[in-house]
A = this chain, B = another copy of it.
């Protein structure tokens, strides 16, 4: 049996976050001590580790809800898990592409060699998208 603090240390999930996940229904409300404090089992620990790792890989809480559900049914086919992961991968790739366009634009505008605001490339570009090379 772990206290919430011990669970937090073992998983790296902060205490208020654990309580938040409970409220969101991502983890079951655990048993309580006589004094009303949460007491977790190993099952609770592994479930929370799963959540933590999924969050680190960028899955949304809703995705994780689905993935957790699946993981409780080992006999089911896993294409639902694949489609969640594939969609997430796609989202990540879209975000990367967007950020790379931003990066290019930002690199360009920070090449300003003026020394006052009146001629500053940063300010000028922000005021006029026509000076940009790409859409965003």
Q: Which residues of A contact B (CB under 8 A)?
A: 46, 49-50, 53-54, 56-59, 67, 70-71, 73-79, 81-82, 84-86, 88-89, 92-93, 95-96, 99-100, 102-103, 105-107, 109-110, 112, 114-120, 122-123, 125-129, 136
In the complex, which of the residues B79, B120, B128 contacts A81, with contact meaning CB atoms closer than 8 Å?
A: B120
Q: What are 15 inter-chain pairs, A to B, with CB distance below 8 A?
A: A53-B125, A53-B128, A54-B126, A56-B129, A58-B99, A71-B117, A75-B117, A77-B115, A77-B117, A78-B114, A81-B112, A82-B120, A85-B122, A95-B99, A99-B99
Q: Is the CB of B126 within 8 A of A78?
A: no
Q: Give the CA-CA distance A128 to B59 in the complex, in Å.
A: 15
